[in-house]
A and B are shown apart, each in its own frame.
Chain A
Amino acid sequence: MLVIEGLHASIGDTEILSGLSLEVAAGEVHAVMGPNGSGKSTLAHVLAGRDPYRVTAGRVLYDGADLLAMTPEERAAAGVFLAFQHPIEIPGVANMYFLRTALNALRRARGLDEIGPVEFLKLADEKCRLVEMDRSLMDRSVNDGFSGGEKKRNEILQMLVLEPRLAILDETDSGLDIDALRVVAKGVTSLRSPGTAVVLITHHQRLLDHVVPDRVHVLAGGRIVRSGGPELAAELEAHGYADLEAMPAAGLSALIGPRR
């Protein structure tokens, strides 16, 4: 579903991704772990299409199509969703209206009929319960004055309403209490299906205790330096990233797991 080949990306004159390659098949959950500054968030933003990251080499194929040639809204219409590490506050735009506008934009792009306010209300109520989000947050401005946990729940709510085929969660687990973490895990689990793929970008193993990934990748210095099964996450938790960062570049390729 997602094929990233030799991706180089910069912000200004600073290269952050340096030949990153990654493949995620439909039906799989992949975790991308790495220390601060390794390029995790850059990867998430480049996949979603955020300025001002500049791709200097490599390619990203999504269902065989050139993802990088698509606008952010085209990517969303194609089924790509990014849960933001720092969700944006939008004063004056009601959460309910925003989410219905987004869903209907996606539905129009996919040739489906728009969903009316009453029907949408039911859908939103159902998903609110699932992510244990206070229903009153739907009538407030998007993320405006929300607590950290409420913002993350709101991201998961959006994910469940918009039903992406490829969901990228950018450190959605960071700074969450155990209840909120459980909700994020529940959201990811309910999205999991043979037709969808999930990329969990995280610094910690915590979330992976609740969502067992099919593959774990280690991102360091702007590329994947190691890949493995779920046990790799536990190993990283035990030993940290320090060993990886100390490794000479030439030695890294040997550590990279077989490409799927």
Chain B
Amino acid sequence: MTPRAQAVAARPSQELELPPLGQPSDPAWLSVSRRRAAAWVRANGFPSSKQEDWRYTSIDPVLAVPLVDGTGTTGRRPSLAVLDLLDLLGPRLGAVRLVMVNGHLAPELSQRAALPGGARILRLEDALADNPRQLASLWSWRSGGYPHALRALSDALATDGVLIDLPAGAVVEEPIEVVLLSAPGGAERWSHPRVVVAAGAASRATVIENYLGAPGRPSVTNALTQVMMDDEAQVDHYVMQADSTDGFHFSSLEVRPGRASHFSSRLLAVGARIGRHEVQVALQGEDAEIELSGLFLTGAGQVHDNPVLVDHAAPGCRSRQLYKGVAGGDGRGVFNGHIVVRAGANGTDAQQINKNLLVSDRAEVDTRPRLEIFADDVACAHGAAVGQLDPGAVFYLRSRGISYQQARALLVSGFAREVIDGFADGPIRQYAELLASAQLDRVVLTRQDGAAPAPAGGRASSASAATEGAAR
């Protein structure tokens, strides 16, 4: 069967062919969990655009990438040499850097350092073999089934990743960076890396997930990050999504903040042909504060989908969401933000803001803020906007000698700044600025979309007025 035929048949399909589920060394509970997850995928199939949460993101091109490699090889290493891989990695963002290549930890590319307060970083493969009890609850976290097949596939197939274990009171100042690199050449086209952060009471750490991809044969990153926080823990989390535009990126972030804990997650998405950055926060401990922000810069041929669910189930929690999108070319951005305030979650303070900028007349952004409130005594606010560059501002900059292209770039970077300014001062913000400006130059503000109108105010200006009008 060709990969494409297999893909089409896989919705839903009892015959869906999957790679071996896990490792021979898996404990019994894990094998059971994996089989259950695989059975769920076969029974329910992959999401279709008829499903509300997948309305804007077609999964069909993703399924054209075979889950099982036809060659039957099991080699997990890419064909690239270590030095070439190092070139792809870019600047280090923390004292500790763990590098995963195509879903498998690459110790020879990683840099470790002793962590204070008994904090440990374990390879997930080892943790599953040595002390699986800590992880058991994570695999069975979702008792009510799976939201979609990709999430279930992670439970069925994830074998490697990183476990960041922070004992109570451990404070790790230096960011912990996990690089997740997709490089062509490995036998496996799908990877299911998993990052688990177990933050003990009053512990503190910063975790950066840095997704990078080398161009070439399309691959699928299907990553899952789980953050469990005890009382008063603080975790600051980043996702830098610069996967190859030949490939597909699915990341899912599941957070359970404890009582009076602080969690933040900041996303910068520039990569992948289809990038979906899912966030689910279950506020089950009182008085927790969470902050989610994201900036997606979506160029020609790209889709960036951002489904965010903040579930206020405990009283006194505060949540903030700020998502900004810029779409150029025929790029398409989606913000699908959902806040639920459950009965009894009194004193909830929830805010959600989504602002988007279209820089071409073929670009599209769909924004769908949703607010469901079942409690009294809550403060909830949400707002969403989709707009274009202000022609008055473009003219103001041009009248000072700044070119049309540069004026647009300045205005867009000004729009994006609000999110990037939230990134911690230092290497992470510098890296974010670098990624964002490269993406804006390369993809969002393409010459095709950004051709300067004919001299304005001149005789030809009726035509230029029409051009500017169309770009609005």
Contact = CB atoms under 8 A, between A and B. Distances in A.
A49 B455 contact: yes
Interface stretch (B52-60, B261-269, B277-285, B415-423): B415-423
Contact of B414 (A87, A106, A141): A141
Contact of A49 (B402, B416, B457): B457
B50 interface: no
B457 A98 contact: no
B8 interface: no
A92 B411 CA distance: 8
Nearest to B401: A76
B323 to A, nearest CB: 16
Interface in B347-385: none
A73 B403 contact: yes
B399 A93 contact: no
A102 B400 contact: yes
A92 B453 CA distance: 25
Interface stretch (A52-60, A182-190, A221-229): A52-60
B418 A92 contact: yes
B410 to A, nearest CB: 6
Residue from A48, A90, A109 whose CB has the most chain B CB atoms within 10 Å: A90
Given A71-B452, A84-B396, A92-B417, A51 B410 contact: no
A172 B18 CA distance: 71
Contacts, number: 128
Interface string B389-401: 0111101111111
A165 B337 CA distance: 52
Given A71-B456, A88-B390, A93-B411, A55 B416 contact: no
A87 B396 contact: yes
B406 A101 contact: yes
A70 interface: yes
Interface string B405-431: 010001101111110000000000000
Given A88-B393, A90-B393, A92-B417, A51 B453 contact: yes
A14 B240 CA distance: 52
A103 B399 CA distance: 12
A93 B414 contact: yes
Nearest to B392: A88
B458 A55 contact: yes
Given A51-B391, A51-B465, A105-B401, A92 B455 contact: no
A158 B395 contact: no
A192 interface: no
A68 interface: yes
Contact of B410 (A70, A76, A93): A93
A87 B469 CA distance: 21
Contacts of B461: 51-55
Contacts of A158: 400
B383 to A, nearest CB: 16
Contacts of B398: 49, 71-73, 76
A45 interface: yes
Interface string A69-93: 1111111110001101001101111
B455 to A, nearest CB: 5
A73 B402 contact: yes
Contacts of A98: 397, 400, 410
B417 A76 contact: no
Given A76-B401, A93-B414, A162-B401, A51 B456 contact: yes
Contacts of A48: 395, 399, 457
Interface string B170-206: 0000000000000000000000000000000000000
B468 A51 contact: yes
Contacts of A54: 461-462, 465
A50 interface: yes
B404 interface: yes
A109 B401 contact: yes
B464 interface: yes
A105 B403 contact: yes
A64 to B, nearest CB: 17
Given A48-B399, A71-B452, A81-B399, 13 more contacts: A49-B399, A51-B464, A55-B457, A71-B456, A88-B392, A88-B393, A90-B410, A92-B413, A92-B415, A92-B417, A98-B410, A105-B400, A105-B401
